[in-house]
């Protein structure tokens, strides 16, 4: 469904080059749900905008839904839907009319557009809001309308740029429920960007981590966590001197009376570690294990947290 090679975009800002995307290779098979995860400014939106033909690449190639983004942008657009960060609904038509008008814009006949609008109103739980003006909808409801607008022409592939950003936790969960539901109903390939770690972790089948314009990791959340981060063991001791010794024994870091280790399988490693500490006369007061998060993966790869603000230009 997507085949991109060396996709690159450089912006010129006051004669300075901003390397937003630095040679991305990406293949996405039909029917997949892929999350592009990365900190602010990593290049996620720019990648999406190139794949959706909204922005020409500086170099590199991409075929999307069987059409080349540079040579046949109209062919790409006819087969994809795009839900951008800003709302796409206008203010003049009521919700259902907005959908029908959008369908007509995509070349559907009036009856066909109306039938499709009704189908999407049902799928996205917008039926009770069909006669409202978009301006009167809540953030989450508006987002659902945006998704319906992106789906009106039955695209094979839907791009969503930060679909849940700016929503409260309940509306975020609700948007995800609808995204998963439409995937089940239509088998649409979904490519979305997010900087919410838990969402990428829990919802996407595949997570592509982007940093500083490059793909730095690509796989299922479980694969990435197992291969790149490892589990954590955290223990506390009664004295700082004991913590330092305990860190030495386990190969971890001590901070005050707390020691953290990274191990491939914490549940299996903990009993041996505790025995070793006991044998060295170190008194452990608490011990716990934890699975890594995608932020641990990002940290292991870049030395930074994904929520850090200081992103290189």
45 binds ligand ATP (CB under 6 A): yes
Q: What is the largest CA-CA distance in the chain?
A: 81
**Which of these ranges, 41-49, 61-69, 128-136, 292-300, lies near ligand ATP under the rule CB under 6 A?**
41-49
**Rounded Cα–Cα distance for residues 96 and 149 (Å):** 10
Q: Are 227 and 294 in contact (CB under 8 A)?
A: no
Interactions with ligand ATP, residue window 93-132 (CB under 6 A): none
20 binds ligand ATP (CB under 6 A): yes
13 binds ligand ATP (CB under 6 A): yes
Interactions with ligand ATP, residue window 149-188 (CB under 6 A): none
Residue with tokens 């800003």: 86
Reference 209, options 230, 227, 188, 187; nearest CA is 227
Residue of 26, 34, 44, 261 interacting with ligand ATP (CB under 6 A): 44
**Rounded Cα–Cα distance for residues 72 and 35 (Å):** 25
Interactions with ligand ATP, residue window 63-82 (CB under 6 A): none
Q: Measure Cα distances from 185 to 2, 29, 123, 209 in Å.
A: 21, 18, 9, 28
Nearer to ligand ATP, 85 or 236 (CB): 85
Supply the minimum distance, in Å, between the C-beta of residue 161 and ligand ATP.
Answer: 7
Nearer to ligand ATP, 8 or 237 (CB): 8
Nearer to ligand ATP, 303 or 309 (CB): 309
Supply the minimum distance, in Å, between the C-beta of residue 241 and ligand ATP.
Answer: 45
Beta strands in the chain (DSSP E): 2-13, 16-28, 33-37, 59-64, 67-68, 80-83, 157-161, 189-194, 206-211, 214-219, 231-237, 253-255, 258-263, 284-290
Burial of 111 (0-12, 13-18, 19+ CB in 10 A): exposed
Nearer to ligand ATP, 69 or 246 (CB): 69
**Which of these ranges, 33-41, 68-76, 141-149, 287-295, lies near ligand ATP under the rule CB under 6 A?**
33-41
Q: Measure Cα distances from 183 to 46, 147, 154, 306 in Å.
A: 24, 12, 12, 28
Nearer to ligand ATP, 53 or 102 (CB): 53
Number of chain positions touching ligand ATP (CB under 6 A):
14
Question: H helices of 69-109, where?
Answer: 73-79, 95-105
Q: What are phi and psi of 77, to 5 degrees?
A: -60, -35
Burial of 277 (0-12, 13-18, 19+ CB in 10 A): buried
292 binds ligand ATP (CB under 6 A): no
Residue of 3, 6, 10, 18 interacting with ligand ATP (CB under 6 A): 18
Supply the minimum distance, in Å, between the C-beta of residue 301 and ligand ATP.
Answer: 16
Residue 56 CB partners (closer than 8 Å, separation 6+) = 50, 70
195 binds ligand ATP (CB under 6 A): yes
**Rounded Cα–Cα distance for residues 57 and 298 (Å):** 26
**Which of these ranges, 11-19, 92-100, 135-143, 151-159, lies near ligand ATP under the rule CB under 6 A?**
11-19
Supply the minimum distance, in Å, between the C-beta of residue 35 and ligand ATP.
Answer: 12
**Which of these ranges, 43-51, 107-115, 141-149, 248-256, lies near ligand ATP under the rule CB under 6 A?**
43-51
Return residues touching ligand ATP (CB under 6 A): 11, 13, 18, 20, 38, 40-46, 195, 313
């Amino acid at each position: 469904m997507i085949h991109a090679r060396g996709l690159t975009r450089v912006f010129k800002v006051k004669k300075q080059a901003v390397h937003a995307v630095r040679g991305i290779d990406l293949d996405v098979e039909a029917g997949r749900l892929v999350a592009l995860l990365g900190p602010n400014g990593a290049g996620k939106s720019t990648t999406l905008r190139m794949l959706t033909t909204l922005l020409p690449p500086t170099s590199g190639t991409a075929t999307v839904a069987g059409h080349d983004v540079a040579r046949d942008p109209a062919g790409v657009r006819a087969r994809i839907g795009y839900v951008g960060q800003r709302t796409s609904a206008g203010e003049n038509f009521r919700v259902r009319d907005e959908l029908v008008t959008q369908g007509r814009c995509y070349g559907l006949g009036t009856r066909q557009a109306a039938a499709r609008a009704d189908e999407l109103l049902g799928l996205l739980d917008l039926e009770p809001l069909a006669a409202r003006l978009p301006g009167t909808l809540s953030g989450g409801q508006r987002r659902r309308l945006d998704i319906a607008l992106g789906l009106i022409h039955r695209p094979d592939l839907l791009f969503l740029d930060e679909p849940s950003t700016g929503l409260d936790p309940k509306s975020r969960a609700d948007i995800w429920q609808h995204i998963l539901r439409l995937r089940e109903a239509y088998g649409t390939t979904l490519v979305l960007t997010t900087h919410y770690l838990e969402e990428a972790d829990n919802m996407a089948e595949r997570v592509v981590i982007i940093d500083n314009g490059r793909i730095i990791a690509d796989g299922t959340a479980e694969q990435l966590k197992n291969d790149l981060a490892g589990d954590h063991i955290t223990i506390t001791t009664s004295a700082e001197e004991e913590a330092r010794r305990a860190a030495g024994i386990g190969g971890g870091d001590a901070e005050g009376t707390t020691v953290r280790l990274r191990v491939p399988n914490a549940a299996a490693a903990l009993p041996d570690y505790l025995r070793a500490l006991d044998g060295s006369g170190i008194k452990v007061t608490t011990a716990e294990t934890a699975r890594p998060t995608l932020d641990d993966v990002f940290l292991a790869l870049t030395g930074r947290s994904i929520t850090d603000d200081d992103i290189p230009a």
